[in-house]
Amino acid sequence: MGAPTIQLEPTEETQHVTEHATRDLLRLATAGSVDDGKSTLIGRLLYDTKSVLADQLSAVEAATLARGGGEVDLALLTDGLRAEREQGITIDVAYRYFSTATRAFVLADTPGHVQYTRNMVTGASTAELAIVLVDARKGVLEQTRRHASITALLRVPHVVLAVNKMDLVDFDEATFRAIADEFTAYALSLGIPDVTAVPLSALTGDNVVDRSARTPWYDGPTLLEHLEAVPVGRDALSEPFRFPVQVVIRPRTAEHPDYRGYAGRVASGVVSVGDEVTVLPSGKRTTVVGIDTFDGPLTEAHAPQSVTLRLADDVDVARGDVLVPTAATVNVGSDLEGTVCWLAEKRSVLGARLLVRVGTRTVRALLREVNARLDVDTLTVEAWDGVDTLHAVDATDTSSDIPPRALTLNAIGRVKIRLAEPIVLDEYATHRRTGGFLLVDPADGTTLAAGMIGATLLDRLAPTPSDDDDWFAGAGI
Amino acid sequence: MTTLPAAPPLTQLDALESEGIHVMREVAGEFERPVLLFSGGKDSIVMLHLARKAFWPSPVPFALMHVDTGHNFPEVIEYRDRVVAEHGLRLVVASVQDAIDDGRVAERADGSRNPLQTVPLLDGITANKFDAVFGGGRRDEEKARAKERVFSLRDEFGQWDPRRQRPELWDLYNGRHKPGEHVRVFPLSNWTELDVWRYIEREQIELPAIYYSHQREVFLRDGMWLAPGGWGGPRPSEMLEVRTVRYRTVGDMSCTGAVESTASTIPEVIAEVGASRLTERGATRADDRASEAAMEDRKREGYF
């Protein structure tokens, strides 16, 4: 074998230079099990967009051979860790990268079997689009509904139903329509605003990248065409301005002796020089007098730009504060109600001392109530009233006798949390960028749960009398 | 429904840059003593560029650490020292030679010092009480890296336990750790090799000259063009010859291979990387060819 030689193709050069000026970025997540052909679909997207390189393919071929041979298993491309290859399972979210001339994609590949809830919630939290896979022979299954419900819970704005293995049902239109109609109706009942169904075969490549000649009855986009066409970043722009302060910039250098700026990323919305803003939770009002970056000042910044804001008055602003438009009504309080997905082996304990992380702020907190739990298999909600101190348990108790009102790994439940100090409480339903939070164990820093402030899918499935039935309507998507 | 402002979505590079700056500011806000691992390779150079942007007009608020194998390309050391002086940075050098001299590690039979970097790296982190360590690792590099977190917790032995990693949701990074533990932070997690090059082009970032085509005496070993040096090459059976090459990665001279290339400008390199059918690690890093899980094993031990 000789040394690697790289072929130069002069035409590529001009192509790459023009690409990078306008190409944008879409984050997406896939949900489905190996049985649905998820690994094959991802392998197909990577392969057909030329994102799999020769040495990666030959490594997969070698691994296939070492395991007894047979057809090259594209699933091995996406199996990262030794334990996963040995056990033939996927443990964790893996991130994949592929791109076309107009768009780059960051794909969170979430496993369908083990710890599916924890992993899907993680992958869906940053996704603007979710691909839910079904096998055309099997149609909408319990797990399809589960995947759709987590997508709805995390408010992923766009969902693609990939009806896979169409080659095994002779590309039958009626089969596809029945599955698409059933899923779309179900997704609508969960409040998912945008569903696109695509009939495809990951194995043969039909309608994944290239349009299939075998589905003349289908006039919609191929999967990749749709991924390229979905609008990016619209929901973050349409939400009201929020700016969680990360660090205070005070150089105190000879060149900048008195500079004071507040560095952060615009979480949602737009801010302009001259805008009146309020610092929360203190409530102090001031005006934006400058938007600075290393590359020069801006007159306007929008989500998700990282900038440094200068303010008119010498107000007290620190990491953890949030700048909001002065004219807006913003909920600030120290009683947090919401839905959490439990992510740790340690179960929830009523009365436990926790840390709540929202935006750039971390506050001490007490878990006061767990008053409902969502069964993701049946999508039914078990709800109960009030504080249930009888069932407060020791988190180190790992016996299989799960207390009825505790949350365990992968459980989704409704909680009430008392905070040691007031913070901005943006409803996740209308503020996807600032309405999420983490529960952290102060003892060892473990991330115990991920939460969404306010009413969520869980409340939609089991509304309490005080809930606004119309919660999804205000989402602005 | 709110009316949409006219602002277009960020381009991919702007989105990646903003994410990297956000990560760096989170570290500055949450940790006492961060440090940036700086090898003089393109990824660490891009990280430093992001750090300068993140805190401007303040200087970069943390030190650089270079794990020095003693088998360095002179062009890279010259570049490192110049950049440190130019931006008024503090440089900590963790030396593999020192670790060999005081018996913390032993020289290997094959002369490669790449696997020996882990001990001085961890000793450097402990001695300086660094609690957050920026690394230039990218998830597209290797399949064990595809599951790496942006904030990656290491225990008091510097070890990576994939099962202990915390789920990362939204942009809420949890950096809490116990005394003695530290967190590796990867601001370039979502960048690909091409993204790094396009960003270098857009920002006109200077790199060490070995990234561009040049004439060099090299010899062939295990299918890679290696440069001669005091580390143990070439062997009598290996022939030195002059080739037109460049480096796709910068690491220890004993295991970083050159690729034959005439790409002498950034656009030419971008065209070359875009057309390449090999990943940069597959093409140029002997250390990753050792086994199917070579990177996973080294990561567990505390490698970069």
CATH code where residue B23 lies: 3.40.50.620
| Domain-embedded: residue B2 | no
Q: CB–CB of A4 and B259 under 8 A?
A: yes
Same domain flag for B94 and B161: yes
Per-residue pLDDT tens, chain A, 477 aa: give them: 333 333 333 344 344 444 556 899 999 999 876 678 888 888 888 888 877 766 666 776 777 677 666 655 666 666 555 555 555 555 678 888 999 989 999 999 887 665 678 888 999 999 999 999 999 999 999 889 888 999 999 999 999 999 999 999 999 999 999 999 999 999 999 999 889 999 999 988 999 999 999 999 999 999 999 999 999 888 888 899 999 999 999 999 999 999 999 999 999 999 999 999 999 999 999 999 999 999 999 999 999 999 999 999 889 999 999 999 998 899 999 999 999 999 998 999 999 999 999 999 999 999 999 999 988 777 888 888 755 544 444 555 555 555 567 899 889 999 999 999 999 999 999 999 999 999 999 999 999 999 999 988 888 887 654 444 443 333 333
Shortest CB distance from B270 goes to which of A13, A104, A438?
A: A13
Q: CB–CB of A121 and B169 under 8 A?
A: yes
Same domain flag for B107 and B233: no
Q: Which of A93, A23, A13, A450 is nearest to B189 (CA)?
A: A93
Joined together, the tokens standing for residue B270 give 């971008």
Same domain flag for B63 and B180: yes
Same domain flag for B74 and B184: yes
Same domain flag for B51 and B167: yes
Same domain flag for B34 and B180: yes
Instruction: Give me Rg for the CA atoms of chain A.
Output: 25
Q: Which of A427, A424, A421 is nearest to A456 (CA)?
A: A427
Same domain flag for B104 and B128: yes
| Domain-embedded: residue B278 | yes
Q: What ipTM is given for this predicted complex?
A: 0.90
Which uninterrupted H or E stretch holds A449?
Answer: strand A447-453
| Domain-embedded: residue B201 | no
Restricting to B residues 89-128, those with a Cβ less than 8 Å away from any Cβ of A are: none
On chain B, the residues whose CB falls within 8 A of the CB of A99 are: 12, 192
Same domain flag for B216 and B184: no
DSSP string covering A60-126, please? Answer: HHHHHHHTT--S--GGGGG--SHHHHHHT---S-EEEEEE-SSEEEEEEE--SSTTHHHHHHHHHHT
| Domain-embedded: residue B100 | yes
B180 touches chain A (CB under 8 A): no
Residues B238-263 have pLDDT tens digits of: 899 999 999 988 877 877 889 899 99
Q: For tokens 């919305």, what's the residue?
A: A269
The answer to whether residue B268 scores a pLDDT higher than 60 is yes
| Domain-embedded: residue B7 | no
Shortest CB distance from B147 goes to which of A62, A80, A445?
A: A80
Same domain flag for B64 and B107: yes
Same domain flag for B56 and B126: yes
Amino acid at A418: R
The answer to whether residue B299 scores a pLDDT higher than 70 is no
B223 touches chain A (CB under 8 A): yes
| Domain-embedded: residue B234 | yes
State the burial class of residue B61 (Cβ atoms within 10 Å of its Cβ: 0-12, 13-18, 19+).
middle
Domain range holding B285?
209-289
Residues A287-341 have pLDDT tens digits of: 999 999 999 999 999 999 999 999 998 899 999 999 999 988 999 999 999 999 9
Q: How many domains does chain B have?
A: 2
d(CA A125, CA A476): 18
Q: Which of B100, B137, B136, B133 is nearest to B116 (CA)?
A: B100
| Domain-embedded: residue B204 | no
Sign of CA pseudo-dihedral B286, B292, B294, B296: positive
| Domain-embedded: residue B202 | no
Same domain flag for B36 and B156: yes
Same domain flag for B106 and B173: yes
